[in-house]
Structure 1
Amino acid sequence: MGPHQFFIFFTLLITFTATAAEIRFTRIRSDSRSTVPLDEFGFTHFGRLHLNITQISFSPPEPDLSRIGFFLSTRDSIGHVIEQLQSKKITCPLDSSAVKTIFTFNHLKPTTTTPSYDAVFNVTDADQFTLVFANCAGDNVKVNVNVISVMYNVNPRNNHRDYLSAGKTNLPTIYFLLFLIYAALIGVWIYTLYIRNSSVFRIHYFMLAVLLLKALNLLCETEDKSYIKRSGSPHGWDVLFYIFSFLKGITLFTLIVLIGTGWSFLKPYLQDKEKKVLMIVIPLQVVANVAQVVIDETGPFGQDSDTWRQVFLLVDIVCCCAVLFPIIWSIKKLREAATTDGKAAVNLMKLTLFRQYYVVVICYIYFTRVAVYVLETITSYRYAWTSVLAAEMATLAFYVFTGYNFRPTAYNPYFAIDDDEEEAAVEALKYDDEFEL
């Protein structure tokens, strides 16, 4: 294996974030790559790795089996391994003291009469490790093998297994507490719709639907992570999670577009260009959710997962940009109307509201797409839950802000304007021209 190829591999490796590991099944077919990353996991001092490999074959047959095997590598050891390869001190990462070699194929002993092999490796160093398959037998040696990798931590007090990576083991509790918060918000919103029925518009019922889908999404995420934590498998809850995540994503982006256009509470219809935005955002959300499912199910190093990750990021960016245009259009129309229709105060108040919402949407998108990613990158694997909590709290704050500012009210401050306020608004508009989108 050449140092250049290994450098490229580990450069890609350090860009990935840890995932909630479960029992992973990987098929390696006619693969001649020198290193194949399989999965990533954060271990405590009581970690354990169980490998089961079957259907092993080579082309050409009978390679040097001592040069084929599995090893664990931390991110801190990457630079040292690269340095050793470049200086020719080693020719294979399996030879490096910086990695933990699990086994090489020349030490395999079948557990049954069928060609099945098992290996259990205790991990006593608390760190985040990547499981890697290495093939240093030659550039022309192709390997076929099925690999079942099971990584977990053992609770020394009760000997129970925890299949969630260290730092994410408390995610079920976090998701459940967030579900309870959203359930309370749903109760408050239903009560608000009931007591202010005369001021309720269709978009307020749509907001209720968004809240319900978010709560169900969190409930399914709770069960998904709980089952993975206990057994290593989601037991079907991942399917429900993907369904509600898909619906929640579509409805949230649709809600932003509808509020941005002023639909329902400012005007009862959508213009053609606003409809086109929805027709773009909704299919893109379908693609983004498909990409996310592929990434989650194949793991951080699955086949084509990097391509799907790029697709997801691109689509997500396009969606985030698209939902801003209706808000910009509404602000432009309100500015024009404020100087022409004789209701300067009313339109100024609307304009202020939409400006605030535009800024909040920008901050929400920036924080959940950029700041959270930076937090994931710089945070120790032990505190991986903090980036999840930060993203969820930002989302909760965005939901509360949207609901509060666009709630149904019997006395609407945006329409009840007296003469003095009207005159003050006219004066304010004279000095408002510096606002540029």
Structure 2
Amino acid sequence: MQLDRLMGASVVLAVVVSLAAVLPIARAEIKTTPIVSDSRSVILFEEFGFRRGGHASVSATGISWRVPEGSQLQAVDTTLMGFFLISNSLFYEINNESDYAEATGGAFCPLTSKYVQRLFLFKEVAPDGTGRGSLTIDSDDQYTVLFSSCQEGVEVTMDVRTEMYNLRRSGTREYLPVGLLPLPWIFAAAAAVHFAFLGTWVVVCVKHRRTAERIHAVMGALLLFKALKLACAAEDQWFVERTGTPHGWDVAFYVFGFFKGILLFTVIVLIGTGWSFLKPYLQEREKNVLMIVIPLQVIENIASAVIGETGPAGRDWLAWNQIFLLVDVICCCAVFFPIIWSIRNLREASKTDGKAARNLQKLTLFKQFYLVVVCYLYFTRIAASAIAAVLSYKYQWAVNVSIEMTSLAFYVFVFYNFQPVEKNPYLYVGDDEEEAAGGQLEMESTFEI
């Protein structure tokens, strides 16, 4: 049984590390994480990109452990429980050791590996239930702090404080990992661009207020909350870089992100239905889409906050990630239905109402909108995660840049094509275009959905 437990610890370690590579992790903060009656064999706490001379420390208070009733374990070996630091480039060596131990019938525990750097073992815990350990990094790389228990069924309780930082030449601490150092400036620049965008949008709406519709006000609100979210992200990362804690800016970030997320999908759905542009009302099925998307966005933002604040050490962290991904996929699929319905309705209308040119322009714009939404959601949800998984830890900031540039390009396309101007394809088509458009609509068969 003990052998199975030791082998299981190595398998769990490999799984945890694999998930950490593709799922978002709360990073680069001084964090205190409560662990209560937890029997997991491996608990991942933090990942951090270090420079040589960086510092990692872990301290725990209220450390206690117990063997649950019915366990076959007779005594707890405290040398097989503790914290360690490992370079991510050496995880394959751990796996090799585990595979060799399994092939030879031996036992393997990560804490006994020569490739890990032990912070402290439970045999070193003081009588008052406290333990601490620290290490100075001797080579550049991304490192992971983990707790391992190679004891069958032992339940551990403790409050764990992790602190990781690099040192500037001036000797001051730098709590953001190497790959995320540019983030404060990236988010600040993106916020400035979106505030300027918002100002331009307000000017356009005021200038063309006679053709401005309610949807344009909703689009302006989306820009506002997007800009506020980015501004809070910049402040959050700025404070984390210097102090290790966000000083409350993370709360504002989640609040503004909550409204931005709801408004983004609401705008996509409303534009897809043609609300305000084509008709002043929503059909029942379109209302149902909104009634599905908005509550799901609430759940998604709650999941995002839990993931960001608890980190991978939380027992339910993986479950919240699964909820986040599932809800996000459902929302992304749901917003396509109104666009598809509108495209089909325009096709049908083009055969009966005699307004060929107007219907052709509307249909073309809807097809472009559909494709742009698909590309935007695909890149920000799938492609960006794939890039982050293969990108060097030193350049993780490039993922944020690509996401913000993609988002800005999406916003520019949507706001430009659906702005309140006299000759918006939704609202105006000259009579001289009717005859040419009629022939083109007859050949319209290349974009079937």
Shorter-chain TM-score tier:
over 0.9
* Aligned pairs, number: 432
> Matches of residues 97-108 of structure 1 in structure 2 within 5 Å?
97-108=114-125
Q: 2:45 aligns with which of 38, 44, 54?
A: 38
Within the candidate set 120, 143, 149, 2:134 is matched to 120
1:222 is displaced (CA, Å) by 1.0
* Structure 2 alignment gaps of length 5 or more: 68-73
Query: What's 2:161 paired with?
Result: 148
Corresponding residue number in structure 2 for 1:275: 287
Q: Determine the structure 2 residue equivalent to 1:132.
A: 146
Query: 1:255-297: CA deviations, max 9, x gaps?
Result: 0011001111211111111001000000000000111111111
Alignment pair present for 1:12 and 2:29: no
Q: Does the aligned pair in 2 maintain the 1:32–1:143 contact within 8 Å?
A: yes
- Please report the TM-score for the alignment, with normalisation by the length of structure 2: 0.92
Distance in 1 (CA, whole Å) between partners of 2:115 and 2:299 is: 40
How many Å separate the matches in 2 of 1:412 and 1:293?
39
Candidates 330, 335, 339, aligned match of 2:342:
330
**Structure 2 match to 1:435:** 447
Deviates more, 1:101-110 or 1:329-338: 101-110
Shift of 1:13: 1.8
- The one of 298, 301, 312 equivalent to 2:313 is 301
The SS at the match of 1:207 is helix
Partner SS, residue 85 of structure 2: strand
Q: Secondary structure at the match of 2:132?
A: strand
Q: Is the 8 A contact 1:90 1:96 kept in 2?
A: no
2 CA distance for matches of 1:142 and 1:186? 53
Q: Do structure 1's residue 407 and structure 2's residue 414 form an aligned pair?
A: no
Residues of 1 paired with 2:142 and 2:91: CA distance?
A: 12
Inter-partner Cα distance in structure 2 for 1:417 and 1:234: 52
| Runs of 5+ consecutive residues of structure 1 not aligned to the other structure | none
Contact kept, 8 Å, 2:60 with 2:130, in 1: the verdict is: yes
The answer to whether the Cα contact below 8 Å between 1:193 and 1:200 also exists between their aligned partners in 2 is: yes
Counterpart CA distance in 1 for 2:131 and 2:9 is: 29
Shift of 1:30: 2.8
**Are 1:49 and 2:63 an aligned pair?**
no
- Equivalent of residue 211 in structure 2, options 189, 192, 199: 199
Over 3 Å counting, the alpha-carbon distance change for 1:409 and 1:106 in structure 2 is: same
Cα offset, 1:301, TM superposition: 3.4
Aligned equivalents of 1:417, 1:91: Cα separation in 2: 74
Is the CA contact 2:7–2:109 (under 8 Å) kept in the aligned structure 1? no
Partners in 1 of 2:29 and 2:427 — Cα distance? 55
Per the alignment, in what secondary structure is the counterpart of residue 348 of structure 1? helix
Which residue identity lines up with residue 36 of structure 2 in the other structure? Answer: R
Deviations 1:354-398 (A, max 9, x none): 111001000101111111011110101111111111111111111
Could you tell me how far 1:235 is from its partner in structure 2? Answer: 1.3
Contact kept? 1:53, 1:148, Cα under 8 Å: yes
Q: How much does 1:45 deviate?
A: 1.2
| C-alpha displacement of 1:55 | 1.2
| Mapped partners of 1:415, 1:241: distance in 2 | 37
- Mapped contact 1:21–1:165 kept (Cα < 8 A): yes
User: 1:236-385 counterparts in 2 under 5 A?
Assistant: 236-385=248-397
Q: Is 2:111 the counterpart of 1:94?
A: yes
SS of equivalent residue, structure 2 residue 184 = helix
- Judge which range, 231-240 or 66-75, deviates more: 66-75
Give the alignment partner of residue 78 of structure 2, picking from 35, 41, 65: 65
Identity %: 46
Give SS of 1:2's match: helix
Alignment partners' CA distance in 2, 1:221 and 1:417: 43
1:74 maps to amino acid: S
Instruction: Tell me: CA distance 1:286–1:26, structure 2 relative to 1, closer, same or farther (3 Å).
Output: same
Q: Is contact 2:9–2:109 with CA below 8 Å preserved after alignment?
A: no
Cα distance, 1:419 vs structure 2? 4.5
Structure 2: distance between partners of 1:418 and 1:106: 84
1:5 Cα deviation after fit: 4.0
Q: Write the letter of the residue equivalent to 1:303.
A: R
Corresponding letter in the other structure for 2:245: S
Contact 1:253–1:281 (CA<8 Å) still a contact in 2? Answer: yes
| More moved, 212-221 vs 71-80 | 71-80
Q: Distance in 1 between matches of 2:362 and 2:335?
A: 19
Residue from 145, 170, 183 that aligns with 2:195: 183
- Using the TM superposition, give the Cα deviation of residue 144 of structure 1 relative to its aligned residue in structure 2, in angstroms: 2.4
| Distance in 1, Cα, partners of 2:349 & 2:175 | 59
